[in-house]
Amino acid sequence: MFGIGEIAIVLIVLILVLGAKKLPELARSAGKSARILKSEARAMKAEGGPEPQATYQVRPTPHEDGTAR
């Protein structure tokens, strides 16, 4: 049977062969998106925008007797 490495190589070759026309367009689009994101991040930093906040909550771990810390 084929391993993960061989499957990855075959998929990369297929993508290059079948999507060769679209690759330059996709690369340009990704570059533009990255530049826009970078400039917006700089603008927020310059304005003193809100700091990123954690999106998770820390729950207390129970003691051996079953009570929370």
Tens digits of per-residue pLDDT, 19-45? Answer: 777 778 878 998 999 999 999 999 988
Q: Is residue 60 part of a domain?
A: no
- The C-alpha atoms of residue 12 and residue 18 are separated, in whole angstroms, by 10
Q: Is residue 39 part of a domain?
A: yes
Number of domain units in the chain: 1
Q: Is residue 27 part of a domain?
A: yes
Specify the pTM. 0.43
Q: Is residue 15 part of a domain?
A: no
Q: Is residue 38 part of a domain?
A: yes
Query: What are the tens digits of pLDDT across the range 3-12?
Result: 899 989 988 8
> What per-residue string of b and e applies to 1-39 under the rule 16 or more CB within 10 Å gives b?
eeeeeeeeeeeeeeeeeeeeeeeeeeeeeeeeeeeeeee
Note down the domain range covering 38: 20-47
Q: Is residue 2 part of a domain?
A: no
Q: Is residue 42 part of a domain?
A: yes
Torsion (CA) 27, 31, 37, 41 in degrees, nearest 10: 140
